Amino acid sequence: MRYKLRGAMVLTEKGRERLDLLVEDGRIAALGKTSSVNAKELDFSGLTILPGFIDIHLHGAGGKDTMDATYEALNTIAQTHGKHGTTAMVPASVAATFEEMQAVAEAIKTAVDKGTDGAKILGWHVEGPYMNIECLGAHRAECVRNASVSETEKLWEISGGNIKVMTLAPEIDGALELIGYLRTIGAVPSMGHTMATVEQFERAVAAGALHTTHLFNAMRKFHHREPGIIGAALTDDRVSSEIIADGIHIHPVALKLFYQNKGPDKALLITDSMQAVDLEDGKYELGGLDVFVKEGSARLEDGTLAGSTLTMEKAVKNIIELAGASLENASKMASLNPARLLGLDYRKGSIALGKDADLVAVDDEFNVQFTMVEGKIIYNALG
């Protein structure tokens, strides 16, 4: 299908411009004045078109959880987040038994091979079980274990080679060896759920670690005499970091600290969302644990934060309003930076000729009105 998108302000790699977009065969075929021959014209007057958002860390939405381990669940998650401008995603599992992880691996493979009716599933974010028991967060303690290359190799094969990110604590037994293995298969080793010191952080980076998972949350606290992984990550440009910018997980001052140190090039926005996205407050589940959602905050019974109900367009809006990011930089954190981390920036993450037509249109209040994934309209509130 060929589309001409006209009338919008478009955020390209050069900045914001009012121009037309021609989409053909799933790619951006032209920018500027274009012929409308055989193209369906869509009017985007009053809207801004941004690169589609890429969420590399989410657990659920629409009443479904990655740990449901079915194609149907992943499709619902992709559809739900697609309505909020996410065009590509890496669903995350939680600490689980090998059998449970095997089922997730099989479901991820199916979703990658088959495609979805929403955001494109790029692969699997394996969050745990290789974490520090002292930084458990919303994970089952009985499933936490030391890092294992052999177990990861099996899951890699079952998933069809679709492990894209793995969160692990770099200080636990076997972690450095696993970090090295992850680099050989093209996966991103991410440090999280960790009590790592600065020295342990340094050893992990030397071994190949590239990223930190939901910085500030579920990790050693910052202290001026032992800055730990937080201080190390904030001051090391070799490593990118992701943040949950929902106004709940992170105080606005910490969000500013993050943006001023990691933004715009090494900062990523994620949702870490659970199944209550787009649903009412109530009792839900995250990886086998009961979660109680009240006023958008998701917590275990003991008050521990358990994922979020955040969506990517709200994360972008929050980093602008709470941390002072420009739209251009906020967009980079939600699109280009995750694409670059995954090695996909040659075709995703920005609006440029020849790149995938992954697009989101927002109004002045930053409400999503339209989402396109590789030239396919997956959400349209324009009528």
Q: Which pLDDT does position 36 carry in this prediction?
A: 62
Q: Do 134 and 214 belong to one domain?
A: yes
Does residue 101 come out as left (phi exceeding 0), alpha (psi in the -120 to 50 range) or beta? Answer: alpha
Cβ-Cβ contacts under 8 Å for 7 (sequence gap 6 or more): 18, 20, 43, 44, 45, 46, 47
Report d(CA 11, CA 296) in Å as an integer.
30
> Residue 283, class by beta-carbon neighbours within 10 Å (0-12 exposed, 13-18 middle, 19+ buried)?
exposed
Structure tokens at 232: 């190390």
Q: Do 169 and 130 belong to one domain?
A: yes
Phi, psi of 18 (to 5 degrees): -90, 110
Q: Do 117 and 193 belong to one domain?
A: yes
Is 121 inside any structural domain?
yes
Contact in structure between 21 and 331 (CB atoms under 8 Å):
no
Q: Do 17 and 95 belong to one domain?
A: no
Give the CATH number of the domain where residue 182 resides.
3.20.20.140
Q: Do 274 and 365 belong to one domain?
A: no
Is 136 inside any structural domain?
yes
pLDDT digits (tens, 9 = 90+) for 187-218: 999 999 999 999 999 999 999 999 999 999 99
Is 66 inside any structural domain?
yes
pLDDT digits (tens, 9 = 90+) for 118-150: 999 999 999 999 999 999 999 999 999 999 999
Q: Do 155 and 21 belong to one domain?
A: no
Is 141 inside any structural domain?
yes
Q: Which pLDDT does position 120 carry in this prediction?
A: 99
Report d(CA 226, CA 203) in Å as an integer.
16
Q: Which pLDDT does position 287 carry in this prediction?
A: 87
Is 255 inside any structural domain?
yes
> Residue 5, class by beta-carbon neighbours within 10 Å (0-12 exposed, 13-18 middle, 19+ buried)?
buried
Domain residues for the domain of 373 are: 2-49+352-380
Q: Do 197 and 328 belong to one domain?
A: yes
* pTM for the model: 0.97
Q: Do 376 and 234 belong to one domain?
A: no
Q: Do 70 and 186 belong to one domain?
A: yes
Is 346 inside any structural domain?
no
Q: Which pLDDT does position 33 carry in this prediction?
A: 78
Is 85 inside any structural domain?
yes
Contact in structure between 195 and 220 (CB atoms under 8 Å):
yes
The number of distinct structural domains making up the chain is 2
Q: Which pLDDT does position 34 carry in this prediction?
A: 73
Report d(CA 80, CA 4) in Å as an integer.
25
Report d(CA 155, CA 177) in Å as an integer.
16
Q: Which pLDDT does position 31 carry in this prediction?
A: 94
Q: Do 199 and 327 belong to one domain?
A: yes
Q: Do 285 and 321 belong to one domain?
A: yes
**Residues of the chain whose pLDDT is less than 50?**
none
Is 347 inside any structural domain?
no
Instruction: List residues with catalytic annotation.
Output: 272
Q: Do 232 and 290 belong to one domain?
A: yes
SS (H, E, C) the chain: CEEEEECCEEEECCEEEECCEEEECCEEEEECCCCCCCCEEEECCCCEEEECEEEEEECEECCEEHHHCCHHHHHHHHHHHHCCCEEEEEEECCCCCHHHHHHHHHHHHHHHHHCCCCCEECCEEEECCCCCHHHCCCCCHHHCCCCCHHHHHHHHHHCCCCEEEEEECCCCCCHHHHHHHHHHCCCEEEECCECCCHHHHHHHHHHCCCEECCCCCCECCCECCECHHHHHHHCCCCCEEEEECCCCCCCHHHHHHHHHHHCCCCEEEECCECCCCCCCCEEEEECCEEEEEECCEEECCCCCECCECCCHHHHHHHHHHHHCCCHHHHHHHHHHHHHHHCCCCCCCCCCCCCCECCEEEECCCCCEEEEEECCEEEEECCC
Give the CATH number of the domain where residue 27 resides.
2.30.40.10
